[in-house]
Structure formats: C-alpha cells, structure tokens
Structure 1
Amino acid sequence: MYGTTTEICIHLLTHFIPGENMTVLVLTEDDIRELTPGMHPTPDEARQILSLIASADGLEFGVSEDTVITLLSSLREAETGQTVTVPAQMLRAVMHLAGREMERIADCAREGGGDAEDSLREENHMMATLHGALGD
C-alpha cells in the first residue's frame, strides 16, 4: 500500500483485527535515497518509486536494492525518451552472448534448487521483445 502515515494507519485499523500480530515493512522516501547511492533521486522520483512498488505484482519476496535502482533507472530513461540505434546484426550478436549467459544462470538456478524461469523472468521478457523488434 502507498499513502501517508495517516492513510496507512486507518487502512490497518479498518482491515485487520485489533491486537492481531503482524509484520509491516515500511519504505520511505529517505529509504529510496539510501538504496540508490550516487543516483540522487528527486523527491518526486522517490514518491513515484514508492507508488510503483505498492502497485507492482510479483513482489511477494520483497524489494531489493537492485529493484529500487532498476525502477529509478527506468523512470529516468522513460523521462528522457532515450532511443539507441544499432545495426541489427550487432544486436543479434549481443543477444546471442546474452542468451548464452542466461543459459548459464538458468543452469546455476536449477543446480541450486531454484526456478530458472523465475530467476530470468524479466530478462526473458526483454529478449522476446528484442526478437520481436528484429522480426526473428
């Protein structure tokens, strides 16, 4: 949930039984700044990240420093509308190397008892998008 201290307290009081044991993890704008050293997010960027985290699906295992850095980078990239043009053959070569590394990561995940698909969900989505853009 994203909101002010008052809004969150009201939500907790109206949706949970008083005296019920629970754990609540809190992230603030200050936490966002601490998790992104050297990136200096603006107050507006910190609020946007908090809102994105609150509305995101698939965060049942929490939010890491990498998640926050990725969100901030994505926000900034979206704001600049930065586009890069590279020759298709060069992109295919880089994608081939990335695919081999993704296979290595998947093997490590499987050997460690993890789920390779979960480990590479975002990367697989990016690769599919790039393959689609190339018409592969």
Structure 2
Amino acid sequence: MSTDKTGFEIPDQMRDFAEKSVDQARKAFDDFMGATHKAVSNAEDSANAVQAGAADVNKKALNYAEEHVDAAFKFAQELVKAQNVEDMMKLQQDYLRRQMESLGEQAREFSNSATKAVQDAAKATQKK
C-alpha cells in the first residue's frame, strides 16, 4: 500500500481492481471504436460529392473524440498508479494542459475541414 504525508492510503487490492476496470473499459471502447470505424467506412463507400465533405468532417470529429477518450484512459491508468496526492495533482495538471493544447489544434483543423466541406458542397451544387 502507498501512504502519503496526509495518511491517505490506497489498498493494493483497490489499485488492482481499478487497473483491471480501466483495462476492461479500454477493451470495450476499442471494440466499439472498431465497429464505429467500420460503419463510417461503409457509409463513406456510398456517399456522393456533397456527402463526402460531410463524411470527412464527421470522421475528423470521430477521430477527435477517440483521441480524447484515449487520453482519458491513459490518464486514468496513470492515476491509479499514483503514489500520493501530490502525484495525482501533477497528473491532473499535465492532463488538463495536454487536453487544452489538443483542443486548440483540433478546433483549428475542424474549422478548416468544415469550411472546405461547405465550399465543396457549394461547388457541387453550382455544377448542376
């Protein structure tokens, strides 16, 4: 068991249980994401020019969601291994910083993709 200066203890059995729970949840999520990616691929096969732009934006949004959930699982795995409250606080701070950086970049990419999809859809509509 780990003990910090405040007397906070995490029993080894609880740590093992938490780690197994995170691993099981991760596997279930990975299976779900595999099925979701397959469904997105199948939908894209039958999409036309207008839907292609929307599919790209949707796929990007799905990938962003997957990245954030993946980061949350990694954070949870690190958190259950923390030895004390100070480690937990440091992990939380690092996680939040990385997520904010990621969100900023993803917002820029998403905006560019959405703009391109709208422009492509407008061009396809004008050609008819």
Which structure shows the higher helix fraction?
A: 2
Q: Give the TM-score, by structure 1 length.
A: 0.28
Larger Rg: 2
- Relative to the length of structure 2, the TM-score reads 0.30
